[in-house]
Amino acid sequence: MTELYRFDKSQALYDRAQQMVAGGISSQIRRAELPVPLWFERAKNGLMWDVDGNEYVDYVMGMGPNIFGHAPDFIVDAVARDMRDGFVFAGQMELELEVTEMVQSSVPLKGPVRYASSGTEIDQVALRLARGYTGRPKYLKIEG
């Protein structure tokens, strides 16, 4: 098989992006993609397809978080099922308790669980708890 990869659509999207996005890309690592930064439109399991129809094996699985591959059926089906019941209720759901029980049974530390939307948010909670527990109003941040 001697098919050549084409990048016409990726080039057009890159040209368009350079008018709106600094450097034409949203991450510096994408500058290494040659001949142009690739623009993907779908992925399934360990494969990805760009806007030009070229197929790739995703050896890094989304830089790590896709341990089950892209769009695994069992996750897609579970998300679709739960989305039919609604989402972002801004209130409590029994599912939270079920997840919390799973978390508590999988780690040796027992006690209340706190959820957050980001690592930054939970770091802020941890600092507040530490300040409250120690009675010290300040903390030291070390970088590098």
Q: What is the pLDDT of residues 58-111, one digit of tens each?
A: 998 888 888 999 999 999 999 999 899 887 788 888 989 999 999 999 988 778
Query: Is 60 exceeded by the pLDDT of residue 2?
Result: no
Average of per-residue pLDDT values in the chain: 89
Which pLDDT does position 30 carry in this prediction?
73
Q: Measuring CA to CA, how many Å separate 68 from each of 44, 46, 57, 62, 63?
A: 10, 9, 14, 11, 13
The mean pLDDT value for 9-34 works out to 87
Task: Look up the CATH number of domain 1-87.
Answer: 3.90.1150.10
How many whole angstroms separate alpha carbon 48 and alpha carbon 56? 5
Phi, psi for residue 101 in degrees, rounded to 5: -60, -40
The answer, as to whether pTM is greater than 0.75, is no
How many whole angstroms separate alpha carbon 25 and alpha carbon 126? 35
56 in Cβ contact with 45 (< 8 Å): no
Cis geometry, peptide bond prior to residue 35 (ω within 30 degrees of 0): yes
* Residue 18: pLDDT band with limits 50, 70, 90: very high
> Which of residues 77 and 26 earns the better pLDDT score?
77
To the nearest whole percent, how much of the chain has pLDDT over 70?
A: 97
Q: Where in the chain is the domain with CATH 3.90.1150.10?
A: 1-87
* Residue 135: pLDDT band with limits 50, 70, 90: very high
Which pLDDT does position 131 carry in this prediction?
94
Both tokens of 34, joined, read: 């040659």
Question: What single-letter amino acid sits at 141?
Answer: K
